[in-house]
Amino acid sequence: MAEYNDDYVPSFGGRTREVTTGEFIRDYLIEQGPDYVRSIHKSYQSFCHDNGEQGCTYSTFRNHMWKLKKIGLVHVVREEDMPGAMNMTKRFYDVRPEADLDHDGWTDAIGVLYGR
């Protein structure tokens, strides 16, 4: 496994952000409690807009949630069937109780999963 590079600073379009996507997800779930990806993404888009930043697509955001889940920082706490949608389920995520809130995965999920 590759060593994690402590000098890596996430960059978005050549600029660093005050809050990374992972940090936003962590803080949102801690403050709001379990929620589903579409709802978290909407809040993230509003947060980015309010701070003069460009957010990300829903697909990219879902991919980020998958990475956080694979690392073990978030998990599905419940599922609900979506009325009127065949075989569709809302999955509600939350921060794992045992998750380290300072884990490098919150700021660099790709680096943690695949090395930098």
8 has a pLDDT exceeding 50: no
Inside any domain, residue 102: yes
The two three-digit tokens of residue 10, written as one number: 């996430």
Q: Which residue would you say has higher pLDDT here, 37 or 6?
A: 37
Domain that holds residue 44: 21-114
Measured CA to CA, the distance from residue 101 to residue 89 in angstroms comes to: 28
Inside any domain, residue 41: yes
2 has a pLDDT exceeding 90: no
Inside any domain, residue 8: no
Q: Over the stretch 83-111, which tens digit does the pLDDT of each residue have?
A: 877 788 999 999 999 999 999 999 999 99
Inside any domain, residue 42: yes
Inside any domain, residue 14: no
Measured CA to CA, the distance from residue 54 to residue 106 in angstroms comes to: 19
9 has a pLDDT exceeding 70: no
Inside any domain, residue 56: yes
Instruction: Concatenate the DSSP letters of all residues of 73-96 into one string.
Output: SEEEEEEEEPTTSTT-EEEEEEE-
Inside any domain, residue 15: no
Q: How many domains does the chain have?
A: 1
Inside any domain, residue 2: no
Phi, psi angle pair for 79, to nearest 5°: -130, 145
Q: Over the stretch 57-85, which tens digit does the pLDDT of each residue have?
A: 999 999 999 999 999 999 999 999 888 77
Q: What is the CATH number of the domain that holds 37?
A: 1.10.10.10
Three-state secondary-structure class, residue 50: helix
Measured CA to CA, the distance from residue 73 to residue 105 in angstroms comes to: 8
Burial classification of residue 106, based on how many CB atoms lie within 10 Å of its CB (0-12 exposed, 13-18 middle, 19 or more buried): buried
Give yes or no for a contact between 9 and 16, defined as CB atoms under 8 angstroms apart.
Answer: yes
